């Protein structure tokens, strides 16, 4: 069960009510949720493949700056040239699938198709650093590109929280 104050903080972060929340997967240095674990399927049965969802707008903005810098193109090129990196990224994909399947099972839901690509473009592409960072924050050491992006980010929390605990929009 997710605490109502956490849900209110996430609602303030997103500007809307979060959907399919299973748990807070990671907290920012300020103590607020910054990554949620979400259900693989929404209550209406539609797929929601983003198991780990980055909610902090400050982190999201900083990651957006990284994305616009061309970092993903460099990562994609390295993925094609570095077999060890490609293997680590494939392992991140497998970790994500296993966690997503386990969440579906725990919730009594039909799992998403195994061939449905996971978040962030895994395992063949680098297309969303937000998803890769969320995976790495939720499961430290799981996602090599998420880790690289985290290491390149400024301390987004340094000037205070993005929302107040218990705040709602």
Domain segments of the chain as ranges: 4-152
- pLDDT under 70: residue ranges of the chain: 117, 164-169
pTM exceeds cut of 0.75: yes
Model confidence pLDDT, tens digit, residues 109-124: 888 887 776 788 999 9
Nearest one of 126, 143, 152 to 35, comparing CA atoms: 143
Residue 58 is predicted with a pLDDT of: 95
Model confidence pLDDT, tens digit, residues 33-45: 999 999 998 888 8
pLDDT over 70 for what percent of the chain? 96
Residue 111 is predicted with a pLDDT of: 85
Residue 160 is predicted with a pLDDT of: 87
Contact 92, 135 (CB under 8 A): yes
Can you tell me which residue has the tokens 């680590």?
88
Distance CA 130, CA 76 (A): 15
């Amino acid at each position: 069960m997710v605490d109502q104050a956490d849900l209110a903080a996430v609602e303030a972060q997103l500007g809307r009510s979060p959907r399919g929340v299973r748990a807070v997967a990671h907290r920012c240095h300020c103590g607020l949720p910054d990554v949620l674990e979400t259900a693989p399927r929404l209550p209406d049965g539609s797929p929601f493949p983003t198991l780990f969802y980055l909610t902090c707008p400050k982190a999201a903005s900083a990651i957006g700056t990284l994305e616009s810098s061309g970092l993903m193109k460099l990562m994609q090129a390295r993925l094609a040239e570095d077999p060890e990196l490609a293997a680590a990224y494939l392992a991140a994909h497998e970790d994500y699938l296993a966690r997503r399947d386990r969440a579906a099972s725990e919730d009594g839901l039909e799992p998403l198709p195994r061939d449905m690509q996971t978040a962030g473009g895994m395992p063949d592409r680098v297309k969303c650093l937000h998803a890769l960072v969320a995976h790495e924050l939720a499961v430290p050491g799981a996602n090599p590109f998420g880790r690289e992006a985290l290491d390149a980010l400024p301390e987004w929390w340094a000037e205070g929280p993005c929302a107040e605990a218990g705040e709602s929009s």
